[in-house]
């Protein structure tokens, strides 16, 4: 081929990408005004924490969102696609302590670096709406909302148990307690009671649960995880009378929550949590019990501590009466496996039908009585030894319940106990319990949003007047000592009481950073308004987020908090809807092979050379030549050193190659494996597309302006491929099936290459026009079809590879930007084939094809099928038992 024109030179990604990014920037085409007359579409990716550099996970996440944004824009929507920074958090303080940089400086440096990286990706973001949660202009509104929530009864201050690190002088999350010790200090963690601020998310337990059913465009998995997290269970609250004389004077009863009232005749003991008031009361006169409670208190609440903890208890000496038999006395224990903050902090133990209770009685010799007999078992011989039975069955050993099923017994028990009353109240009542806890938001940390309240010696807790907001963080702080620098600040902390003017101190705790990220998506709808957290009109117009994209790791916390926060904001009038995210997509991770040296040290991909001969791949360390073991792909992490820097990829291959790779091969919800050979292959495809467009552009130039009336079969085939691909890709993008889209685009580009090559070769064979492939060899209808095809092709990959697409679009002679071109329309006629080739199955196995007219009736098809050699052979002269014909789909002959 003679391809010497300037267009067919190699595509220079580095040069072109910078150039087109400048053009988009200068023309401001991605800024979306709040006033418009289009349908709205809000696409959002979870905003990043400014850790310093973006990683490949960000590249994948933001590429997906950008494809959706660009396609929706082309389809005529007003698209809101903003970006911001989840900028408060502990790493900034750690950096300050380690490197003597102020958290603010560290954070803003990181933001600047990461913003430049995001820009180099060519994302179609509306940067005019950029927000950082550490900006007083943002957190001022968060403080105002805190005060609104406080007034609306959505915020509470109360004591709560926390993990306290006595050396670092801070509260630790459960994840930060390792084998009972602080992860940084190594100090033994204490259980402390601290007064904390809580958002009353449990007020919405039922609502948050019910509304999950309305979130049809959420992954089933996430909905289920939230459902389990909320953990609704229906049961019975039973009041056990305590035997006078055995119990402390003030205590005459114990409330117990149970979901299995049907097993109450199998009860062997009652138990309360170590921090239950009854335990404390009983311990006053019982030093052994007091020692046991003290021991429990020192146990961590971490997962490791719970897993290894043995079931232990201590008899209080108190006796409780069975609700149906005052003479039946049950011992009351304090047990380490009872949680104070679920139900009433007290249980009744039915060992035969609860494994945990069984372990407990076996240890303390209390015995067990089975009361539910499994189907098919003889009640007379049914015994429980080491394994509790928690299935269905028939009630036994249960007096008036005998013979009932489990649900019947539950109901009967509830009915009878509800009617019984003691001291004017029913002995039992039906109750719904939730696993969900209120959201404790107090953090003993500097780099967070200050909680806007003042503690006055006389007036107690006083909200900061709204006119005094924001309560800004003081900047003159040091991190040379552990603990919260706000707490030891000489001036910031000490204020006058806004109410009485007397001596007072500021709240020095800051808010959990999950608060910051619980409403940023609403702030994006109008980030400029200074007088209120939201402009109600803009918020209602843009919300909900139509497509939210992020990692599965936020399935519970961030997404549940945001759902609560939106409801709270609705209650205080900031927004008019309950559910913030109409569509949610959770993308998979980016993984990479791992490389391990003989001494066990990890090697990074950049340090390793891979050689392959046949199917065998071998890795060696570039510096020393020593062999390196290739391990399976794992999540990119610093510790395994299998990370790849997006900057390196973008400068070596270009953003388009990185974007294309992120969308290809793996379905977006699954992990994608990044590899050097993979990235090179995508870079090759970019060049192939560029060559194809260059060749096609020459042919397109010769095409008539007006659409020809008739198309040759070959030209028609090109047009059909064009429109069928267009229809498929459009449909698959809507479903976020990016990997399938890319396959269709690949296939279409191969078809086009082949058509262009074939025609050139044919004409060459005939000796016409000299060298093959010359543009003038193409008939007008074919040139027109190719021009249409190549334009559609460029538009189809433009959301994924926007820079290459602009370059191609310009090469095709367009003066406008492909980023602003309307999405092409499918011509439905071209999707319909006039003849169809049906697969012919014999006994369910494909044996032949038959080509018939699209409208052919069943009789015609059957005749054509029975005439086929393969069918005749299979029937061997007999007539078929049955012929199933699904018009336009398939034929199945049953021999």
839-858 binders of RNA (CB under 7 A): 839, 841, 843-847, 849
Contact call for residue 366 and RNA (CB under 7 A):
no
Q: Which of 624, 750, 835, 851 binds RNA (CB under 7 A)?
A: 750
C-alpha pair distances (Å), 380 with each of 318, 369, 371, 383, 783: 33, 12, 11, 8, 90
Q: Which of 21, 120, 336, 694 binds RNA (CB under 7 A)?
A: 336
Q: Which of 311, 322, 571, 597 binds RNA (CB under 7 A)?
A: 311
Q: Which of 19, 466, 680, 766 binds RNA (CB under 7 A)?
A: 680
Q: How far is the CB of 151 from RNA (least distance, A)?
A: 30
Instruction: Please enumerate in sequence order all residues whose Cβ is within 8 A of that of 207, keeping only pairs 6 or more positions apart, or say none.
Output: 567, 578
Contact call for residue 4 and RNA (CB under 7 A):
no
Tokens 């696609």 label which residue? 81
CA-CA distance, 350 to 260, in Å (whole number)? Answer: 9
| Neighbouring-strand partners of residue 442 | 511
222/812 with CB nearer RNA: 222
Q: How far is the CB of 808 from RNA (least distance, A)?
A: 16
3-state class of 471 per DSSP? Answer: coil
Contact call for residue 225 and RNA (CB under 7 A):
yes
Q: Which DSSP state fits 33?
A: -
* Alpha helices, H only, 532-654: 536-542, 557-571, 646-653
Q: Which DSSP state fits 117?
A: H
Q: How far is the CB of 615 from RNA (least distance, A)?
A: 6
Phi, psi of 512 (to 5 degrees): -50, 135
Span near RNA by CB under 7 A; candidates 112-120, 190-198, 681-689, 827-835: 681-689
Q: How far is the CB of 895 from RNA (least distance, A)?
A: 9
Contact call for residue 644 and RNA (CB under 7 A):
no
Residue among 71, 134, 274 at smallest CA distance from 735: 71
Whether the upstream peptide bond of residue 55 has omega within 30° of 0, thus cis, is no
Contact call for residue 362 and RNA (CB under 7 A):
no
Q: How far is the CB of 739 from RNA (least distance, A)?
A: 6
Size of the residue set binding RNA (CB under 7 A): 85
Instruction: Please enumerate in sequence order all residues whose Cβ is within 8 A of that of 648, keeping only pairs 6 or more positions apart, or say none.
Output: 606
Yes or no: say if 698 and 756 are a contact pair by the CB < 8 Å rule: no
Residues 690-749 that bind RNA (CB under 7 A): 737, 739-740, 742-743, 746-747
Contact call for residue 882 and RNA (CB under 7 A):
yes
CB atoms within 10 A of CB 677: 9
Q: How far is the CB of 713 from RNA (least distance, A)?
A: 19
Contact call for residue 178 and RNA (CB under 7 A):
no
537/618 with CB nearer RNA: 618
Contact call for residue 472 and RNA (CB under 7 A):
no
Q: How far is the CB of 620 from RNA (least distance, A)?
A: 16
Tokens 């040379």 label which residue? 480
114/736 with CB nearer RNA: 736
Q: How far is the CB of 677 from RNA (least distance, A)?
A: 4
Backbone region of residue 146 per phi and psi (left: phi > 0; alpha: psi in -120 to 50; beta: other values): alpha
Distance between first and last Cα of the chain: 54
582/679 with CB nearer RNA: 679
Contact call for residue 63 and RNA (CB under 7 A):
no
Residues 761-820 that bind RNA (CB under 7 A): none
Q: How far is the CB of 181 from RNA (least distance, A)?
A: 18
Q: Which of 53, 688, 714, 814 binds RNA (CB under 7 A)?
A: 688
Contact call for residue 872 and RNA (CB under 7 A):
no
Residues 592-611 that bind RNA (CB under 7 A): none
Q: How far is the CB of 882 from RNA (least distance, A)?
A: 6
552/716 with CB nearer RNA: 552
Cα 215 off chain centre by: 14
235/527 with CB nearer RNA: 235
Contact call for residue 73 and RNA (CB under 7 A):
no
Q: How far is the CB of 324 from RNA (least distance, A)?
A: 17
Query: What tokens does 804 get?
Result: 């290459």
Interface pattern 494-513 for RNA (x via CB under 7 A): --------------------
Backbone region of residue 546 per phi and psi (left: phi > 0; alpha: psi in -120 to 50; beta: other values): alpha
Residues 202-221 that bind RNA (CB under 7 A): 220-221
Any idea what the Cα angle at residue 893 is, between residues 891 and 895, rounded to 5°?
175
Q: How far is the CB of 210 from RNA (least distance, A)?
A: 18
Q: Give me the sign of the Cα torsion angle 90, 92, 97, 103.
A: negative
Residues 551-580 that bind RNA (CB under 7 A): 552, 555-556
Q: Classify burial at 157, counting beta carbons within 10 Å of its beta carbon; exposed 0-12, middle 13-18, buried 19 or more.
A: middle
Q: Which of 51, 329, 362, 753 binds RNA (CB under 7 A)?
A: 753
707/854 with CB nearer RNA: 854
C-alpha pair distances (Å), 379 with each of 92, 409, 810: 65, 17, 85
Yes or no: say if 125 and 549 are a contact pair by the CB < 8 Å rule: no
CB atoms within 10 A of CB 101: 15
Yes or no: say if 682 and 759 are a contact pair by the CB < 8 Å rule: no
Residues 616-635 that bind RNA (CB under 7 A): none
Query: What tokens does 748 get?
Result: 């279409």
Contact call for residue 492 and RNA (CB under 7 A):
no
Contact call for residue 831 and RNA (CB under 7 A):
no
Span near RNA by CB under 7 A; candidates 49-57, 161-169, 719-727, 880-888: 880-888
Strands 672-673, 590-596: parallel, antiparallel or unpaired by DSSP? parallel
Span near RNA by CB under 7 A; candidates 324-332, 403-411, 761-769, 833-841: 833-841
CA-CA distance, 569 to 450, in Å (whole number)? Answer: 19
Tokens 């902090």 label which residue? 345
Yes or no: say if 776 and 108 are a contact pair by the CB < 8 Å rule: no
Tokens 């007096």 label which residue? 399
Residues 237-296 that bind RNA (CB under 7 A): 257-260, 273
Residues 426-445 that bind RNA (CB under 7 A): 433, 435
Residue among 473, 475, 413 at smallest CA distance from 448: 473
Any idea what the Cα angle at residue 452 is, between residues 449 and 458, rounded to 5°?
145
Span near RNA by CB under 7 A; candidates 246-254, 667-675, 816-824, 851-859: 667-675
Q: How far is the CB of 885 from RNA (least distance, A)?
A: 9
612/712 with CB nearer RNA: 612
| Neighbouring-strand partners of residue 504 | 456, 495
Q: How far is the CB of 227 from RNA (least distance, A)?
A: 8
Q: What is the DSSP string of 254-281?
A: EEEEES-GGGGGG--EEEE-TTSHHHHH
Q: Which of 150, 473, 543, 672 binds RNA (CB under 7 A)?
A: 672
612/624 with CB nearer RNA: 612
């Amino acid at each position: 081929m003679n391809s010497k024109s300037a267009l067919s030179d190699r595509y220079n990604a580095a040069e072109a990408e910078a150039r087109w990014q400048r053009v988009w920037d200068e023309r401001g085409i991605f800024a979306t005004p709040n006033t418009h007359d289009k349908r709205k579409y809000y696409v959002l990716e979870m905003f990043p924490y400014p850790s310093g550099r973006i990683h490949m996970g960000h590249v994948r996440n933001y590429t997906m969102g950008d494809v959706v944004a660009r396609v929706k824009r082309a389809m005529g929507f007003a698209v809101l696609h903003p970006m911001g920074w989840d900028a408060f958090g502990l790493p900034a303080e750690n950096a300050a302590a380690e490197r003597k940089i102020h958290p603010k400086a560290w954070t803003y440096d990181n933001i600047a670096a990461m913003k430049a990286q995001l820009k180099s990706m060519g994302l179609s973001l509306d940067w005019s709406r950029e927000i950082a949660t550490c900006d007083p202009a943002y957190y001022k509104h968060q403080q105002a909302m805190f005060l609104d929530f406080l007034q609306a009864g959505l915020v509470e201050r109360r004591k709560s148990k926390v993990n306290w690190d006595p050396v670092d002088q801070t509260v630790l999350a459960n994840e930060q307690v390792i084998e009972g010790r602080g992860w940084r200090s190594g100090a033994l963690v204490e259980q402390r009671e601290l007064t904390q601020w809580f958002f009353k998310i449990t007020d919405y337990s039922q609502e948050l649960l019910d509304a999950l059913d309305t979130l049809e465009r959420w992954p089933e998995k996430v909905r289920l995880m939230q459902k389990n997290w909320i953990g609704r269970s229906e049961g019975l609250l039973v009041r056990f009378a305590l035997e006078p004389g055995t119990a402390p004077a003030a205590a005459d009863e114990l409330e117990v929550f149970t979901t299995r009232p049907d097993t109450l005749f199998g009860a062997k003991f009652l138990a309360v949590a170590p921090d239950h008031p009854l335990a404390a009361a009983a311990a006053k006169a019982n030093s052994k019990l007091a020692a046991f409670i003290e021991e429990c208190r020192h146990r961590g609440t971490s997962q490791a501590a719970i897993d290894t903890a043995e079931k232990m208890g201590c008899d209080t000496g108190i006796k409780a009466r069975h609700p149906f038999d005052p003479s039946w006395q049950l011992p009351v224990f304090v047990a380490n496996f009872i949680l104070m903050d679920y139900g009433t902090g007290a249980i009744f133990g039915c060992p035969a039908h609860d494994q945990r209770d069984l372990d407990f009685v076996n240890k303390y010799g209390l015995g067990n009585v089975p009361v539910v007999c499994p189907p098919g078992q003889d009640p007379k011989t049914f015994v429980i030894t080491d394994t509790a039975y928690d299935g269905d069955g028939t009630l036994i050993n249960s007096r008036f319940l005998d013979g009932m099923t489990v649900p019947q017994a539950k109901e009967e028990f509830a009915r009878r106990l509800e009617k019984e009353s003691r001291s004017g109240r029913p002995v039992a009542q039906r109750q719904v319990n939730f696993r969900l806890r209120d959201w404790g938001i107090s953090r003993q940390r500097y780099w967070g949003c200050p909680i806007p309240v003042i503690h006055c010696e006389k007036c107690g807790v006083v909200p900061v007047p709204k006119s005094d907001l924001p309560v800004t963080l003081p900047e003159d702080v040091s991190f040379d000592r552990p603990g919260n620098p706000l707490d030891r600040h000489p001036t910031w902390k000490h204020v006058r009481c806004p109410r009485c003017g007397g001596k007072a101190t500021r709240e020095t705790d800051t808010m959990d950073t999950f608060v910051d990220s619980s409403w940023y998506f609403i702030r994006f709808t109008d980030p400029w308004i200074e007088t209120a957290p939201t402009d109600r009109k803009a918020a209602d117009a843009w919300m909900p987020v139509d497509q939210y994209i992020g990692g599965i790791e936020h399935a519970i916390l961030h997404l549940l908090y945001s759902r609560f926060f939106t409801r709270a904001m609705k209650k205080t009038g900031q927004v008019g809807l309950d559910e913030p995210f109409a569509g949610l997509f959770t993308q998979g991770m980016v993984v990479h092979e791992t490389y391990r040296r003989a001494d066990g040290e990890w090697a990074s991909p950049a340090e390793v050379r891979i050689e392959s001969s046949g199917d065998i791949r071998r890795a060696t360390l570039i510096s020393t030549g020593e062999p390196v073991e290739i391990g399976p792909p794992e999540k990119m992490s610093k510790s395994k050193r299998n990370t790849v820097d997006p900057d390196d990829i973008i400068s070596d291959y270009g953003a388009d190659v990185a974007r294309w790779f992120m969308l290809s091969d793996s379905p977006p919800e699954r992990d994608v494996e990044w590899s050097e050979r993979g990235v090179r292959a995508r870079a090759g495809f970019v060049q192939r597309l560029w060559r194809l467009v260059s060749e096609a552009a020459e042919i397109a130039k010769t095409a008539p302006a007006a659409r020809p009336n008739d198309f040759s079969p070959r030209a028609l085939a090109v047009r059909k491929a064009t429109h069928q691909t267009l229809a498929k890709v459009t449909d698959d993008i809507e479903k976020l099936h990016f990997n399938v889209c890319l396959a269709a685009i690949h296939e279409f580009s191969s078809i086009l290459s082949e058509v262009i090559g074939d025609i050139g070769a044919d004409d060459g064979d005939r000796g016409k026009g000299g060298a093959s492939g010359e543009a003038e060899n193409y008939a007008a209808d074919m040139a027109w079809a190719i021009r249409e095809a190549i334009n559609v092709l460029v538009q189809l990959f433009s959301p994924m590879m926007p820079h290459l697409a602009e370059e191609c679009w310009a090469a095709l002679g367009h003066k406008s930007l492909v980023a602003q071109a309307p999405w092409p329309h499918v011509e439905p006629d071209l999707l319909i084939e006039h003849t169809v080739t049906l697969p012919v199955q014999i006994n369910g196995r494909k044996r032949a094809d038959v080509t018939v007219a699209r409208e052919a009736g069943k009789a015609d098809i059957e005749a054509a099928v029975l005439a086929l050699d393969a069918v005749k052979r299979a029937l061997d002269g007999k007539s078929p038992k049955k012929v199933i014909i699904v018009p336009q789909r398939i034929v199945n002959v049953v021999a």
